[in-house]
Structure formats: structure tokens, C-alpha cells
Amino acid sequence: MNITILTPDKEIFQGAILSVKVPGTLGQFQVLNGHAPIVSSLGNGEVVLVTTNGTYKYYDEESSTIKEGSQVGQMINYKINGGFIEVLNNEISLLVRIAQN
């Protein structure tokens, strides 16, 4: 499955993942392969991605550039202050207000 994480000013992650945990407004939930379609609001908290086979691109705060990775099983964390998630046909979109890793 693939995910794209966007903030108002940049794309911070795009690529293949095994799973993602997000802070829903009614509690944390996890999205795995084959998840039912959903649109949900997100609260404050942590987004945790686990990468899988394939490449991914991420925004590196230190260098202010987009970098590429391909490590399987990499856990990547972002702190967010609300937003939205859409899941449809193993494609996930996160639109978040503030994201930090």
C-alpha cells in the first residue's frame, strides 16, 4: 500500500508502507493492507509508519531537501496537530496541520 503525507506547504512522505498508526479524534487506529475505505479527522498525536518493499521519499528537516530511502521495516514517526486521513484501494492520503519527525 502507498501513502502520501502533506502539510500546507510541502509533501513530507510518499511511498510504500506496511502499516500506519494515526491519532483519530476518537482514538488511535491502524491501517493495514486491504483496509476498508475511510475518511476520518485526526487529533493531536503521533503518526507511525512502517516501510515495506519499495522506495519512499521523505522530507529531511536538517537539509531541507527531499531524500529517498528503501529500508524495509523502517519505523518513521511524525508528530501532528490534527488533520485528515483518506484510505481508498490501498492508497492513503494524510493532510496534516503540522508535522515533525
Query: Cβ of 65: how many Cβ atoms within 10 Å?
Result: 9
Q: What is the pLDDT of residues 45-56, one digit of tens each?
A: 999 999 998 889
pLDDT of residue 60: 87
Q: Which domains does the chain have, with CATH numbers?
A: 2-100 (2.60.15.10)
**If we measure between CA atoms, which residue out of 98, 41, 46, 97 comes closest to residue 75?**
46
Q: What is the pLDDT of residues 12-40, one digit of tens each?
A: 999 999 999 999 999 999 999 999 999 99
| Cβ-proximal residues to 63 (8 Å cutoff; 6+ apart), any chain | none
CA distance 44 to 32: 21
pLDDT of residue 98: 79
Please answer whether residues 7 and 42 qualify as being in contact, where contact means their C-beta atoms are separated by less than 8 angstroms: no
